[in-house]
Amino acid sequence: MASMDTNESGMAKGLSRYGDSQFSQYLRNAFLRSLGFTRSATDNSVVGITNTFSDYNACHRAIPDLIQAVKRGVLMAGGLPMEFPVISLHEAFSYPSSMLLRNQMAMDVEEMIKAQAMDAVVLIGGCDKTVPALLMGAISANLPSILLTTGPAITGSFQGERVGACTDCRRFWADYRADRRTKTEVEEANEQLVASAGTCSVMGTASTMACMSEAMGIMLPGGASALSVSSERLRLAEETGRRAVALIQESLKPTDLLSEASIRNAARMLQATGGSTNGVIHLAAIAGRLGLRLDLRGLNALGKDVPMIADVKPSGQFYMEDFHKAGGVSRILKQLHDRFELDCITVTGKTLKETIDNQKLGFPQNAIRDPDDPIYPSNAITAVFGNLAPEGAVIKRSSATESFLVHRGKAVVFDSLNDLSERIDSDELDVSPNDILILRHAGPIGAPGMPEAGFIPIPKKLARDGVRDMVRMSDARMSGTAFGTTVLHISPESAAGGPLSLVEDGDIIELNVPEQRIQLLVEEGELKERAVRAEKESSNSQLSGRGYIRMYVENVTQAHEGCDFRFLVPKRNK
């Protein structure tokens, strides 16, 4: 246990600097007594616990109960739990976009772990951006760390139909826009879409990040998918607290746990679950903090051998509670054992192989398919490259319209989010179902913050005619709960001078996902002329904004690099 007269552990760590370290400790002790701690209590190893509860964050509503259970586990193992607040981000309460704030949260996490006295940290998050932010910050702080997510919400019921956020939210809204549902119906459905505390109940970004984290070994087995309101989650929380103390004794830090192999395992899990395209950006950022690189061509190469076997919305038919009952991440690892690198060590102190070998998962179920009967045979998420996306773009082909995966169409260009919202529903819009909708200036710098606007709505006049999907392309992101033929994260983005900025209405674009190609079919000479014109027009543009947004715009990397801040990414190992 920690000694009070060393500056290396426990409550003797990270003393505030007054030029007299003994006085610093003396002062701290006075405040520890003030907090009601006896000397023997503060002589223990300290486990920090991030508190991301917020009245604004429905997905984190169960966190107070989880924290109590974690504290119990820490105390049972002989440690001292210390809860502390960090930024909380909810998707529906983060203007202009939660992605803009992910890096701020990561900085908050890193600095508060480093600033405060603790020997290990339990990271509690759940809603989309919170998990990558917690992991990015914890990797950079590099203290023994273990993740606990809030878990998915239960499903609701509307007119006899099972519903859950947010795939069904989008479906109901699309039906309303197309006059297939009344206002009263969508308002009544609204009561049922998020039926409990917890994260979205499909394989959206939150569940994708949770599954990838479990596959990376930074979370206990079963931790990705146990329901938010279940007693199993409370037991996981208690065990997480206990393991946090053990991680101190075993001196197991994020950089010991996370490696190129564990990043590859996370990428395989993304493919096997048909996870959110956001997972690609967040995994690139997490890898970046380790000095590694998630290469989009490498993602395609890994995905070639990984069938998508999780039959979960938005690509499949079930919900996260079914996925969990089917065996969750462990079952995926077991069924695809020859595709994963199972000798990776995890926060349990054991390898992934040892972890899944202990689990009896042979019972019949239907939410996770056999590898020879997949939902999608391979590359559920595919990166495409070409003169429109020299650094790549991604598409979730498992939720796209198959016939659109090889497609040529005429560009209908929206120059910004404002332009999109002003014209998309106009009866004057010159658009037909085989055209390609283009949205630009919606990337990391352009928006700024790369909002989830890539799920461009079907123009109302086409939606009314029954059109449900079109090819859409942008430098924006898309919610993991959304679906459709959407090419996202076009990199470099238009605001950084990417070729997307050169597309004009009527240009022909060719998409060939099986061949991983995206091509703007305009003569090179013409594109050069457009580039010169664009350069002149932008030469007078001034960087706007102040404070954090200014720092973001000046330092954010492009989508294929993870949208982290350049100054937070260590020199690359690979």
Minimum Å gap between C-beta 52 and ligand FES is 11
Rounded distance between C-alpha atoms, residue 252 and residue 60, angstroms: 27
* Binding-residue pattern over the window 495 to 534 for ligand FES, x denoting contact by CB under 6 A: ----------------------------------------
Minimum Å gap between C-beta 66 and ligand FES is 15
Instruction: Collect all residues with Cβ–Cβ distance below 8 Å to 536 and sequence separation of at least 6.
Output: none
SS (H, E, C) 109-171: HHHHHHHCCCCEEEEEECCCCHHHHHHHHHHHHCCCEEEEECCECCCEEECCEEECCCHHHHH
Q: What is the number of other CB atoms lying within 10 angstroms of the CB of residue 52?
A: 26
Minimum Å gap between C-beta 155 and ligand FES is 14
How many CA atoms are closer than 13 Å to the CA of 485, on its beta-carbon side? 24
**Run of H or E including 239:** helix 231-250
Minimum Å gap between C-beta 116 and ligand FES is 27
Name 364's bridge partners: none
| The dihedral sign for the CA sequence 525, 531, 537, 539 | negative
b/e 409-425 (16+ beta carbons within 10 angstroms → b)? bebbbbbbbeebeeebe
Minimum Å gap between C-beta 559 and ligand FES is 20
Q: How many residues lie near ligand FES (CB under 6 A)?
A: 11
How many CA atoms are closer than 13 Å to the CA of 286, on its beta-carbon side? 30
* The two structure tokens encoding residue 47: 């486990």
384 — phi, psi (to 5°)? -120, 150
Instruction: Collect all residues with Cβ–Cβ distance below 8 Å to 168 and sequence separation of at least 6.
Output: 189, 193, 313
For ligand FES, which is the closer residue by CB, 124 or 206?
206
For ligand FES, which is the closer residue by CB, 193 or 287?
193
Minimum Å gap between C-beta 108 and ligand FES is 18
Q: What is the CA radius of gyration of the chain?
A: 24
* The two structure tokens encoding residue 118: 């603790």
Residues 156-195 interacting with ligand FES (rule: CB under 6 A)? 165-166
Minimum Å gap between C-beta 63 and ligand FES is 13
Minimum Å gap between C-beta 479 and ligand FES is 8
Q: Which of 80, 189, 200, 292 binds ligand FES (CB under 6 A)?
A: 200
Residues 70-99 interacting with ligand FES (rule: CB under 6 A)? 90-91
For ligand FES, which is the closer residue by CB, 192 or 494?
192
Minimum Å gap between C-beta 165 and ligand FES is 6
* Binding-residue pattern over the window 241 to 280 for ligand FES, x denoting contact by CB under 6 A: ----------------------------------------
Minimum Å gap between C-beta 416 and ligand FES is 25
Of 293, 478, 253, 296, whose CA–CA distance to 385 is shortest? 296
Name the segment binding ligand FES (CB under 6 A); options: 169-177, 197-205, 394-402, 498-506.
Answer: 197-205
Minimum Å gap between C-beta 127 and ligand FES is 3
Instruction: Collect all residues with Cβ–Cβ distance below 8 Å to 474 and sequence separation of at least 6.
Output: 438, 439, 440, 442, 453, 454, 456, 486, 487, 488, 490, 500
Minimum Å gap between C-beta 225 and ligand FES is 13
Q: Which of 49, 59, 263, 559 binds ligand FES (CB under 6 A)?
A: 59
Minimum Å gap between C-beta 273 and ligand FES is 15
For ligand FES, which is the closer residue by CB, 73 or 198?
198
Rounded distance between C-alpha atoms, residue 400 and residue 379, angstroms: 12
For ligand FES, which is the closer residue by CB, 300 or 479?
479
Tell me if 270 sits within 8 A of 214, measured CB to CB.
Answer: no
For ligand FES, which is the closer residue by CB, 91 or 108?
91
For ligand FES, which is the closer residue by CB, 202 or 437?
202
CA angle 519, 470, 560 (to 5 degrees): 50
Name the segment binding ligand FES (CB under 6 A); options: 198-206, 229-237, 265-273, 551-559.
Answer: 198-206
For ligand FES, which is the closer residue by CB, 90 or 243?
90
Name the segment binding ligand FES (CB under 6 A); options: 132-140, 196-204, 315-323, 395-403.
Answer: 196-204
Instruction: Collect all residues with Cβ–Cβ distance below 8 Å to 178 and sequence separation of at least 6.
Output: 458, 460, 463, 464, 466
* The two structure tokens encoding residue 345: 């060590």
How would you class 512 by CB atoms within 10 Å of its CB: exposed for 0-12, middle for 13-18, buried for 19 or more? middle
Task: Please tell me whether residue 127 binds ligand FES under the rule CB under 6 A.
Answer: yes
Q: Which of 206, 326, 367, 471 binds ligand FES (CB under 6 A)?
A: 206
Q: Which of 128, 322, 561, 564 binds ligand FES (CB under 6 A)?
A: 128
Minimum Å gap between C-beta 204 and ligand FES is 5
For ligand FES, which is the closer residue by CB, 52 or 558?
52
Residue keyed to tokens 């600033």: 115
For ligand FES, which is the closer residue by CB, 9 or 130?
130
* Binding-residue pattern over the window 307 to 346 for ligand FES, x denoting contact by CB under 6 A: ----------------------------------------
Count the residues in the chain.
Answer: 574
For ligand FES, which is the closer residue by CB, 300 or 315?
315
Q: Which of 73, 79, 164, 204 binds ligand FES (CB under 6 A)?
A: 204
Name 84's bridge partners: 50
At 418, which amino acid appears? N
Site residues (vs ligand FES, CB under 6 A): 59, 90-91, 127-128, 165-166, 199-200, 204, 206
